[in-house]
Amino acid sequence: MKIVIIGVGAMGSLFAGRITPLAEVIMIGNWPEQLVTLNKEGLRLIHPDGRESLIDVKATNETSAAGKADLALVLVKGWQTKRAASQAKEIVGVTGLALTLQNGLGNLEILAEAVGESRASLGVTSEGATMMAPGVVRHAGKGLTHLATTPETAGRLQEVAALFNQSGFKTHLVESATSLVWGKLAVNAGINPLTALLQVPNGYLDEDPVARALMCQAAEEAAAVARAQGIDLPYESASERTIEVARATASNRSSMAQDIARGMPSEIDAISGEISRYGQKLGLLTPINDSLIRLVKAQIETGDWQDEIANLPLEYQERFRKLSQVEIKA
């Protein structure tokens, strides 16, 4: 199987590192330092147990250099999906498949518009990865991967799932990923914006009572929006599940935290923004997610999210002032 991974960040690097020994893999991205390091020195993969592997990977910033592939695996941020979908259209052949394992909502629809519904597929993964430096990725947390099948994609996804499992990613096929997507969205909404603002690993949110309370409320708002649409989440309590994930991935830095640290655009619109948008359509209030959107965007635009607290509704200003006083341990 030939696979083109669209995205050279943490998740793209993790999947490339694990799959390359078993298949022909080419990575496509636009991070200059990463591309140079990967092609000159290879990819250093730090496993969860501390072991390290050096993998010889291929990476390019030219879509045409990748050629045709059996699978285009999309692992970019939500704001990059339109460009990735255009690349996937060029990459997948007549029988090829484009698969998104991205965070947030709306990625499958963009992908399907580009490559056709019969060649677009959606998956959800709870694997965690952190870029330590260009060319160095740490597998920060193991989890399950689910791929949603349709009559048109079932056969090809069986092959993909078999390869993923052989690569060490526990992968299951499901008939619908809607519940899983919203389940992950709620967890992401609780963890990612707060870790981005505080610039802390996921586990810090569980250790501080102020951060933990905000994390849980953001997740519960997402769960309420899902329930209002008749979507049953794959767990009973969004708060408890988000705390569990924060603990299980305590040393991992969320993708949003990594993006903010690098001065890159964030996925806040694809995560908290989608929860807010659906909430408005359904007549549900999502004040914590709304506040987190404003604070993350302020951090991106001005470099100081705390100044934006004064512009939040009065009833939430004190809670976020307390968040700004969270003591970050060394």
Mind giving me the DSSP string for 214-280?
Answer: HHHHHHHHHHHHHHHTTPPPSSS-HHHHHHHHHHHTTTPPPHHHHHHHTT---STTTTHHHHHHHHH
pLDDT at 330: 55
Q: Is residue 330 one of the residues assigned to a domain? A: no
Q: Does residue 320 sit within a domain?
A: yes
Note whether 98 and 133 are same-domain residues.
yes
Same domain (yes/no): 44, 20:
yes
Do 131 and 223 share a structural domain?
A: no
Same domain, 73 and 95: yes
pTM of the model: 0.87
Residues 82 and 19 in one domain: yes
C-alpha distance from residue 169 to each of 15, 125, 141, 318 (Å): 9, 9, 11, 43
CATH number of residue 205's parent domain: 1.10.1040.10
Of 158, 175, 192, the position where a domain reaches its end is 175
Domain identity same for 82 and 194: no
Which pLDDT tens digit goes with each residue over 153-173? Answer: 999 999 999 999 999 999 999
Are 164 and 198 within one domain? no
Report the 3 state secondary structure along 95-148.
Answer: EEEEEECCCCCCHHHHHHHHHCHHHEEEEEECCEEEEEECCEEEEEECCEEEEE
Residue 302 forms part of a structural domain: yes
Q: Taking the CA atoms of the chain, what radius of gyration do you get in angstroms?
A: 19
Residues 6+ apart with CB under 8 A from 116: none
Report yes or no on 230 lying in a domain. Answer: yes
Whole-number pLDDT of residue 155: 93
Residue 304 falls inside a structural domain:
yes
Residue 159 sits in the same domain as residue 229: no
Q: What are the residue ranges in the chain where pLDDT is below 50?
A: none
Residue 143, pLDDT score: 86
Full residue range of the structural domain in which residue 162 is found: 2-175
Domain boundary among 151, 175, 199: 175
Whether 329 is covered by a domain: the verdict is: no
7 and 146 in a single domain? The answer is: yes
Asked, for residue 79, whether it belongs to a domain, the answer is: yes
Residues 206 and 147 in one domain: no
Q: Kindly state whether residues 195 and 136 are assigned to the same domain.
A: no
Structure tokens at 155: 């056969």
Question: Catalytic residue positions?
Answer: 184
| 26 in the same domain as 164 | yes
Task: Give the strand order in the sheet containing 52-55.
Answer: 52-55, 43-46, 136-141, 128-133
Q: For residue 319, with 0-12 CB atoms within 10 Å meaning exposed, 13-18 middle and 19 or more buried, which class applies? A: middle
Which of 122, 155, 175 is where one domain is finished?
175
Domain count, the chain: 2
Domain of 116, CATH number, reads 3.40.50.720
pLDDT mean across residues, the chain: 94
